[in-house]
């Protein structure tokens, strides 16, 4: 086959796959509805889309002589060695055909494999091919070597003038026949897997997965077992199937399956799994006074198990086996940890866990348990508050007793009592409560045994608030409309300015009670469970409206708002006298004005006073002597106080308040201390400051200080003080802290405080007082230019031979002349030195002169230091 042909075939095959996918969706329609024995109404299924003018196709409704049946052919038949048949249905025209199919028949009734006598498809495209395939099967009536003929015929639904469903195509290739001799294929049984299955709760089993080739029927299974060989049966076909073998032996087990013509065997190893188990609780020698004990145990890899009490089985264990053969396909491990209750007799008992495992292995684990003789007990299972909070609901039962329980519990009057019946069954009783907090409830039976429990009864939370009006609302009328909600209260009031205005009956609402309903307001909307409204008559000004609620335990809730009733503008004003005015005498005339005042009165220093004279706009008040605050106090219609005040001084013409001999009207210093002498103005020295320096005359040591001078606490300015007592006033003293008795210069400085040559050494210590500025000095204040350390007459700064011995004659460099005749140092000959020495004529050398000068300077410095000291 060349490449072009291969490409062409590939395109055809892809087209067939796509068409086949569509036809599979319509498989029920194709294979079940369009049978040869069924007829169709043509009018309802005429596909106008197939009416191609080029081919004059009427959409498969070829009931006239001008039809398209010549377009449909069959071909490319093939059949495999396993009797798989394929056939192509081909449209050779350039337009689509609706409802084409293939009519099939075989001349032997034992042949099957066709879904229907006629196989339909919905549509076949122009110049397209649709591939059909079938798998033939043969029943036992078809003998080996039988000749069989297959007939295939192209068909179009409702084709022909009489509406028949086949035989319409008239092409030369519209039919095809094929004859073959049936050769029965060989049969085989294939075992795909044989695995130990440990997921079965009943017992271990082997899971076999298998199928058969060219055979459908019964498989006979034989396998090793404890009594020799066991047999099992299952069905086989070409489909993969599973069957289970239940072995009774261990080790290598051979399993063989037989079908006519073939036997296949497989080996499986079944291992003995380790048997394990133990009693977890109770522990050995356990003691209890209960009638039963919970036995918790662990068991694994057992086929039979039981819990025994004193050698009697009381409970059988469900079987759980772990994966003992390490089969990776069964990786789960079932380890049983479980338990059961065992009823105990009194005294000692033996409880055992007995297990039987693979290959009849056994295991037993036992504990000893002692039961104390039973005692009578009352058990309170629960104590909860009932929904209305007024009752406690007790659930209780008794052990080893049936009869009445006497209940006692805390109440508001001390202790309350009740009774109810009890038995081993859980029962319920209700106790009425009248107090809150922790309430102890005790029940007693048989006049001795008792049991107590505590409940905490918390009062239901008081709820409520004023809905309207909003806080600080204003009214011009005398009524305010109040809306409120309240819940869980025993008593309630609406109060106005702390006075009870309206009583509210008690109210409790359970939000969790499905039988409760919410009220509905006037506007049809949902409102709180307890809702109210009323009109409150309010006075002028601000009023407090409160919702006051008391809960069932005395809890108080208060929600208040402030409302205001409009009050006309109110004012009060003193028109005479002005504030701060002084009058001689004790009577004061006062004028005032009022606006929208409900009442008014007068006060002097906060004390009410009645006028001695009164008319509409002026009163006369007996104020008395001294400075007083006079007020007119007025109240508006809301009883809100307002006032206007003035401060006046009423003078006693004969008063001498400070008793200094000068009457108050003439006294410039009215508060003179007692027994101090005063001048004609009534002022003492402790009240005067003549030089106006801020220090009173009785304390001023410098009484004539110039105005605006800064002074100390003694009233002295700097030009009036000599703080260090050196004779120089502080304002001129450059050295304000000179030591006592020191000799100072005009600036007030002693030589211990000065450094004339600025060399860092005080003059009192400086042996070289005139050191050049910038010179480096020693501790005595001397620079090298001022010293002759070796006393040779040459100062150190020029002395090239600083260590000359005392008395040595030196030249101008400070060095002794050389007698070697060489020009050493000075460059002069020995003869010249000799003549030079002779020329000196016995005058002292410069070294001697310098030494004497240094001694003199030192002597002067010592004398000066002694003088300073």
- 779-784-789-795 Cα dihedral, nearest 10 degrees: -150
Beta bridge partners of 295: 340
Last residue of one domain, picked from the residues 141, 160, 181:
181
94 assigned to some structural domain: yes
Statement to judge: residues 69 and 142 lie in one domain: yes
Statement to judge: residues 282 and 393 lie in one domain: no
CATH number at residue 334: 2.60.40.10
Statement to judge: residues 206 and 321 lie in one domain: no
pLDDT in tens, 506-541: 888 766 654 443 333 333 334 456 788 999 999 998
Residue 825 — very low, low, confident or very high, per pLDDT cuts 50/70/90?
Answer: very low
Specify which of 169-173, 334-338, 638-642 reaches the highest per-range mean pLDDT. 638-642
3-state DSSP assignment of residue 847: helix
Statement to judge: residues 17 and 117 lie in one domain: yes
71 assigned to some structural domain: yes
Q: Rounded to two decimals, what is the model's pTM?
A: 0.31
State the Cα–Cα distance between residues 93 and 56, nearest whole angstrom: 11
660 assigned to some structural domain: no
Say which residues have a Cβ less than 8 Å from residue 11's Cβ, sequence separation at least 6.
none
Residue 644 vs residues 10, 184, 598, 633, 634: alpha-carbon distances, Å: 117, 135, 16, 7, 9
Last residue of one domain, picked from the residues 612, 632, 651:
651
State the Cα–Cα distance between residues 374 and 360, nearest whole angstrom: 41
Both tokens of residue 865? 């230091």
Statement to judge: residues 30 and 145 lie in one domain: yes
Which of 68-82, 279-293, 518-532 has the least mean pLDDT? 518-532
Statement to judge: residues 175 and 32 lie in one domain: yes
Statement to judge: residues 61 and 152 lie in one domain: yes
Question: Would you call 46 exposed, middle or buried from its count of C-beta atoms within 10 A (0-12, 13-18, 19+)?
Answer: middle
Query: In b/e form, how buried is each residue of 752-766, taking b as 16+ CB within 10 angstroms?
Result: ebbbebebebebbeb
Say which residues have a Cβ less than 8 Å from residue 848's Cβ, sequence separation at least 6.
793
Question: Mean pLDDT, to the nearest integer, of 336-356?
Answer: 91
Last residue of one domain, picked from the residues 270, 291, 307:
270
Statement to judge: residues 35 and 120 lie in one domain: yes
State the Cα–Cα distance between residues 433 and 430, nearest whole angstrom: 10
Statement to judge: residues 245 and 390 lie in one domain: no
Q: Is the pLDDT of residue 702 over 80?
A: yes
The closest alpha carbon to 368, from 398, 344, 388, 385, belongs to 344
Average pLDDT of the chain to the nearest whole number:
80
State the Cα–Cα distance between residues 69 and 156, nearest whole angstrom: 7
Are 794 and 830 a contacting pair, CB within 8 Å? Answer: no
State the Cα–Cα distance between residues 266 and 193, nearest whole angstrom: 9
Q: For residue 129, how many C-alpha atoms fall within 13 Å in the half-sphere facing its CB?
A: 16
621 assigned to some structural domain: yes
Over its C-alpha atoms, the chain yields an Rg (Å, rounded) of 68
Neighbours of 376 (CB within 10 A): 13
Residue 829 — very low, low, confident or very high, per pLDDT cuts 50/70/90?
Answer: very low
State the Cα–Cα distance between residues 308 and 495, nearest whole angstrom: 79
Q: Is the pLDDT of residue 777 over 60?
A: yes
Structural domain range at position 114: 3-181
Q: What does residue 361 show for φ and ψ, rounded to 5 degrees?
A: -70, 150
Query: Bigger pLDDT: 660 or 235?
Result: 235
CA-CA-CA-CA torsion sign (833, 835, 840, 841): positive
pLDDT in tens, 619-667: 999 999 889 999 999 999 888 899 999 999 998 878 887 888 888 777 8
In percent, the amount of the chain with pLDDT more than 90 equals 41
Q: Is the pLDDT of residue 847 over 80?
A: no
553 assigned to some structural domain: yes
Question: Mean pLDDT, to the nearest integer, of 270-283?
Answer: 91
320 assigned to some structural domain: yes
Residue 821 — very low, low, confident or very high, per pLDDT cuts 50/70/90?
Answer: very low
52 assigned to some structural domain: yes
State the pairing for strand pair 463-468/437-445.
unpaired
pLDDT for the residue numbered 838:
35
State the Cα–Cα distance between residues 23 and 11, nearest whole angstrom: 18
State the Cα–Cα distance between residues 42 and 61, nearest whole angstrom: 7
Statement to judge: residues 483 and 417 lie in one domain: no
Question: Mean pLDDT, to the nearest integer, of 775-785?
Answer: 85
Q: Is the pLDDT of residue 5 over 60?
A: no
DSSP state of 489: B
734 assigned to some structural domain: no
Beta bridge partners of 353: 307, 365
Statement to judge: residues 54 and 152 lie in one domain: yes
CATH number at residue 437: 2.60.40.1930
3-state DSSP assignment of residue 22: helix
Statement to judge: residues 61 and 146 lie in one domain: yes
State the Cα–Cα distance between residues 411 and 393, nearest whole angstrom: 16
Question: Would you call 608 exposed, middle or buried from its count of C-beta atoms within 10 A (0-12, 13-18, 19+)?
Answer: exposed
Query: Bigger pLDDT: 519 or 104?
Result: 104
In percent, the amount of the chain with pLDDT more than 70 equals 80
pLDDT in tens, 536-586: 999 998 999 999 999 988 899 999 999 999 989 999 999 999 999 988 888
Residue 157 vs residues 45, 121, 123, 166: alpha-carbon distances, Å: 11, 10, 11, 7
pLDDT for the residue numbered 160:
61
For the chain, how many structural domains are there in total? 7
């Amino acid at each position: 086959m060349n490449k072009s042909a291969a490409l062409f075939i590939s395109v055809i095959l892809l087209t067939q796959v796509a068409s086949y996918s569509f036809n599979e969706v319509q498989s029920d329609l194709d294979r079940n509805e369009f049978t040869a024995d069924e007829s169709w109404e043509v009018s309802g299924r005429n596909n106008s889309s197939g009416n191609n003018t080029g081919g004059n196709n009427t959409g498969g409704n070829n009931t006239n002589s001008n039809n398209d049946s010549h377009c449909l052919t069959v071909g490319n038949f093939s059949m495999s060695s396993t009797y798989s048949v394929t056939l192509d249905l081909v449209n050779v025209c350039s337009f689509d055909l609706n409802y084409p199919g293939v009519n099939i028949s075989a001349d032997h009734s034992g042949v099957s494999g066709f879904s229907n006598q006629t196989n339909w498809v919905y549509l076949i495209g122009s110049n397209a091919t649709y591939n059909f395939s079938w798998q033939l099967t043969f029943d036992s009536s078809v003998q080996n070597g039988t000749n069989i003929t297959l007939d295939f015929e192209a068909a179009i639904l409702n084709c022909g003038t009489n509406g028949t469903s086949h035989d319409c195509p008239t092409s030369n290739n519209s039919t095809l026949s094929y004859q073959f001799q049936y050769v029965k294929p060989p049969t085989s049984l294939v075992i795909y897997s044989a695995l130990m299955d440990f997921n079965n709760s009943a017992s271990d089993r082997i899971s076999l997965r298998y199928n058969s080739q060219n055979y459908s029927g019964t498989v006979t299974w034989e396998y090793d077992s404890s009594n020799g060989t066991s047999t099992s049966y299952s069905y086989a076909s070409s489909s993969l199937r599973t069957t289970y073998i239940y072995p009774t032996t261990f080790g290598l087990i051979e399993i063989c399956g037989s079908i006519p013509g073939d036997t296949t065997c497989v080996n499986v190893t079944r291992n003995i799994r380790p048997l394990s188990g133990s009693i977890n609780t109770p522990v050995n020698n356990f003691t209890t006074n209960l009638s039963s004990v919970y036995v918790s145990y662990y068991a694994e890899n057992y086929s039979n198990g039981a819990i025994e009490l004193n050698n009697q089985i009381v409970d059988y264990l469900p079987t759980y086996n772990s994966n003992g053969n390490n089969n990776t396909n069964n990786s789960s491990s079932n380890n049983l940890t479980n338990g059961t209750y065992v009823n105990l007799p009194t005294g000692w008992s033996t409880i055992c866990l007995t297990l039987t495992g693979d290959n009849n292995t056994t295991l037993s684990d036992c504990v000893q348990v002692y039961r104390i003789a039973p005692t009578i007990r009352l058990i309170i299972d629960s104590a909860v508050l009932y929904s209305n909070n007024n009752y406690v609901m007790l659930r209780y039962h008794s052990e080893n007793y049936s009869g009445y329980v006497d209940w006692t519990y805390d109440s508001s009057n001390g202790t309350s009592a009740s009774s109810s019946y009890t038995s081993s069954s859980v029962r319920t009783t209700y106790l009425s409560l009248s107090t809150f907090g922790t309430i102890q409830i005790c029940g007693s039976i048989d006049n001795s045994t008792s049991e107590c429990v505590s409940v905490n009864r918390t009062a239901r939370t008081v709820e409520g608030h004023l809905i309207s009006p909003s806080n600080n609302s204003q009214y011009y009328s005398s009524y305010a409309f109040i809306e409120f909600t309240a819940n869980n209260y025993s008593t309630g009031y609406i109060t106005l300015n702390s006075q009870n205005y309206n009583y509210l009956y008690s109210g409790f609402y359970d939000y969790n009670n499905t039988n409760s309903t919410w009220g509905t307001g006037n506007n049809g909307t949902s409102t709180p469970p307890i809702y109210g409204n009323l009109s409150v008559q309010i006075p002028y000004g601000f009023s407090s409206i409160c919702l006051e609620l008391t809960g069932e335990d005395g809890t108080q809730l208060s929600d208040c708002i402030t409302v205001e009733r409009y009050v006309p503008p109110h004012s009060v004003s003193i028109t005479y006298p002005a504030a701060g005015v002084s009058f001689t005498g004790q009577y004061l005339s006062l004028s005032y004005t009022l606006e929208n005042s409900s009442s008014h009165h007068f006060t002097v220093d906060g004390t009410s006073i009645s006028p001695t004279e009164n008319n509409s706009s002026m009163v006369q008040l007996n104020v008395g002597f001294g400075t007083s605050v006079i007020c007119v106090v007025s109240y508006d219609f809301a009883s809100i106080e307002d006032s206007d005040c003035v401060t006046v001084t009423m003078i006693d013409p004969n008063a001498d308040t400070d008793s200094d001999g000068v009457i108050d009207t003439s006294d410039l210093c009215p508060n003179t201390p007692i027994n101090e002498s005063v001048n004609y103005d009534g002022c003492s020295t402790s009240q005067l400051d003549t030089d106006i320096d801020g220090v009173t005359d009785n304390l001023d040591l410098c009484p004539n200080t110039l105005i605006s001078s800064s002074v100390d606490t003694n009233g002295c300015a700097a030009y009036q003080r000599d703080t260090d007592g050196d004779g120089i006033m502080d304002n001129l003293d450059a050295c304000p802290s000179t030591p006592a008795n020191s000799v100072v210069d005009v600036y007030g400085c002693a030589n211990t405080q000065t450094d004339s040559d600025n060399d860092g050494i005080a003059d009192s210590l400086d042996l070289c007082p005139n050191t050049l500025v910038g010179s480096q000095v020693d501790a005595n204040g001397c620079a090298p230019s001022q010293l002759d350390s070796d006393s040779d007459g040459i100062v150190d700064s020029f002395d090239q031979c600083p260590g000359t011995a005392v008395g040595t004659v030196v030249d101008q460099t400070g060095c002794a002349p050389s007698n070697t005749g060489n020009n050493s140092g000075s460059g002069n000959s020995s003869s010249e030195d000799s003549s030079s020495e002779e020329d000196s004529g016995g005058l002292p050398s410069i070294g001697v002169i310098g030494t004497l000068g240094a001694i003199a300077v030192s002597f002067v410095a010592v004398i000066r230091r002694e003088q300073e000291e």
